[in-house]
A and B are shown apart, each in its own frame.
Chain A
Amino acid sequence: MKKSHERVAELLPWMVNATLDNSEDAEVREHVSDCVTCRDHLELLAELYAAVQEGPSAEVDSFEALDTMRLRLEHDGAAESGRARPRPPSRLVRWVLFAQAAALVFALGLIFFQRANPQLPPTSFRTLADTSPATAATDPQARVLFSEGATERQIRELLHQIGGRIVDGPSEMGLYTVELETDAGDSATVVNRVEALRHDTNVRFVELVSRGSLSPSGG
């Protein structure tokens, strides 16, 4: 009984959060039914559990934090040191990179003329350039996280406007893969459509990707 009490007393915290394995749980339950001290401890632990659960939790925006992280990875030389560098891009990809860079300059110009959008720092474009091998594929794809409030109808209309269709998703994170129906070489169109998505209030997050042969499939 004494031995059991000591062992059980140490296991009690995890009886409360229901993570004991079956045999432990059975032992704890049997002992607690006979031990006033352990029952008393359980009562405090249950209060502790509730107190922690109800405790203050900070409001934090994961997407905003990710933007900061990307900035850091791009500016921080340390980002690439200590890990294998990706393969250098092929000639074709380098050409596409060039074409896309030109398209980005064009898109940037458009945006400056259209309106200043505080939600769209210039770094977003660098992120786009970063995944540029993706646009080398014949079917450009974007990964999109729609706003929680977006209705199915709104999503369908939005996709119709930009000539996109959902080909995969949602992932665990709620991300959909959207294929953009457009000419393969026309990166300016692709960029513009991604920008249109990015500006839509029904979209929380969008990123241009593809199943390009250079990028390993995500997961």
Chain B
Amino acid sequence: MAATAAGDRRAFDELYLRHHRSVFGLIYRMTGRHEVAEELVNDVMLVVWQKACTFAGRSRVSTWIMGVAYNKALKAIRQLSRRPTLVEVEPQMAVDPEGPETDLSRRERRERIREAMTGLSAEHRAAIELTYYHGYSYREIALIVGCPENTVKTRMFNARRRLRSLLSQPSEEPTEQRGKSWSR
């Protein structure tokens, strides 16, 4: 990181390759658009290259970079000025298609959750992605999104509540799992 700050292009290349996938993943999951993520990821990396010398080292490099990515993605979503269309979920080939029946209903349930997530705000969805796709703690997420830790906790709690209510709404194809007490 220090070398990147000093203008070392090779160090930057390595930094780029180390973080590219995560940055792309966050923007892609937040915006739901491949081409937007592709473009924004290099906007993020340009900021990293230009501002590396201002990086104070108070946090991990990854949280700083993800913070830049988060803000770029939010801005893009607002510019697109409509709810991002999450990419169609492909069938999960990893699951044994001849597995027990419970596998099927479990898959359906997860699919419904992913569908419901598209109804969340970008901030709520980002909090969930940062926690469950990227594995960050609430303290790290606070650094990334630039708000107090308690706000992150509240935001995540509200996201969960909203998700529950979305899941309790009837969908086109009923599943046997509907009765499950998600809307408690």
Contact = CB atoms under 8 A, between A and B. Distances in A.
A93 interface: no
Interface stretch (B60-68, B76-84, B87-95): B87-95
A173 B17 CA distance: 8
A188 interface: no
A153 interface: no
Given A14-B137, A54-B110, A207 B10 contact: yes
Interface stretch (A26-34, A67-75, A159-167): A67-75
B3 interface: yes
Contact of B38 (A55, A57, A60, A217): A60
A209 B10 contact: yes
Interface stretch (A79-87, A96-104, A110-118): A79-87
Interface residues of A, number: 58
A37 interface: yes
Given A14-B131, A55-B114, A78 B50 contact: yes
A151 B98 CA distance: 36
Most chain B CB within 10 A, of A13, A54, A173, is at A13
B90 A56 contact: yes
Nearest to B39: A68
Given A51-B113, A63-B17, A173-B18, A68 B42 contact: yes
Given A175-B14, A218-B14, A10 B156 contact: yes
Contact of B89 (A17, A50, A56): A56
Nearest to B182: A44
A70 B154 CA distance: 41
A20 B137 contact: yes
B55 interface: no
* Interface secondary structure of B, over-half rule: helix
Which of B13, B53, B128: most chain A CB closer than 10 A?
B13
B49 interface: yes
A215 B42 CA distance: 24
Given A83-B7, A215-B8, A49 B153 contact: no
5 shortest A-B CB distances, which residue pairs? A19-B137, A52-B132, A51-B113, A51-B110, A10-B153
Interface of B: 2-3, 6-11, 13-14, 16-18, 20-21, 24-25, 28-29, 34, 37-38, 41-42, 45-46, 49-50, 52-53, 86-90, 92, 94, 106, 109-111, 113-114, 117, 128-129, 131-133, 135-138, 140, 153-154, 156-157, 160, 163-164, 181-182, 184
Interface of A: 9-11, 13-14, 16-17, 19-20, 37, 40-41, 44-45, 47-58, 60, 62-63, 65-66, 68-70, 72-73, 76, 78-79, 82-86, 130-131, 143, 171-173, 175, 207, 209, 215-219
22 contacts: A10-B156, A11-B138, A13-B132, A19-B135, A47-B109, A49-B132, A56-B86, A57-B25, A58-B34, A62-B16, A62-B20, A63-B17, A65-B38, A72-B46, A73-B46, A78-B46, A82-B50, A84-B6, A131-B10, A172-B18, A209-B10, A216-B3
